[in-house]
């Protein structure tokens, strides 16, 4: 029995993932169902369910996630062109309720997003 989020189970190495970066505040790993040639997820160790649930005291952590997204893109050779996406709530496409930033790169992106 567990009430861990899916991403907490990846952090705990209970579920395998291709990990790209990790520190004491966040982890980055490849998405299992990539929507671009490069698709990583940046996940805080702290299991905040969605951005709307983040507290004012989480501000530095949120900035760290953004900077880690840029770092992971850069280290994968996509520092010039990448897209970040963050789905907040089921109606916006969120399926895993542990806050995460998608980092997508390696193909053209249109605007507006779908
Ligand atoms: P969301 O839809 O919540 O914004 O994004 C969740 C993401 O998690 C999806 O892109 C989905 O492909 C990814 N995902 C779901 N299960 C797993 C898994 O077990 N491993 C990895 N690496 N990614 C997963």
pLDDT, tens digit, 9 for 90 and up, residues 68-109 = 999 999 999 999 999 999 999 999 999 999 999 999 999 999
Q: In what order do the strands lie in the sheet with 19-22?
A: 19-22, 26-30, 38-44, 101-105, 83-85
Atom of ligand 1 nearest to the CA of 35: 10
Q: State in Å: Cα 33 to ligand 1 middle.
A: 7
Give 6-105's CATH code, choosing from 3.40.50.980, 3.30.428.10, 3.40.50.720, 2.60.40.1120.
3.30.428.10
Residue 49: strand, helix, or coil? coil
Please give the backbone phi and psi of residue 39, each rounded to the nearest 5 degrees, phi first.
-145, 105
- Please write the tens of the pLDDT for every residue from 15-39: 999 999 999 999 999 999 999 999 9
Element (H, E) at 84: strand 83-85
Beta carbons within 10 angstroms of residue 33's beta carbon: 6
**Residues 56, 28: Cα–Cα separation, whole Å:** 23
CA of 34 to the centre of ligand 1 (A): 9
For ligand 1, what atom is nearest to the CA of residue 95? 3
């Amino acid at each position: 029995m567990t009430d861990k989020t899916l991403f907490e189970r990846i952090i705990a190495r209970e579920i395998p993932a291709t990990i790209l970066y990790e520190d004491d505040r966040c982890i980055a790993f490849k998405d299992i169902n990539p929507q671009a040639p490069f698709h990583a997820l940046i996940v805080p160790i702290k299991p905040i369910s969605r951005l709307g649930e983040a507290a004012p005291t989480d501000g530095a952590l949120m900035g760290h996630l953004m900077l880690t997204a840029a770092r992971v893109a850069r280290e994968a050779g996509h520092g010039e062109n990448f897209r970040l996406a963050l789905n907040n709530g089921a109606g916006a496409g969120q399926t895993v309720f542990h806050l995460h930033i998608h980092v997508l790169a390696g193909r053209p992106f249109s605007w507006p997003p779908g």
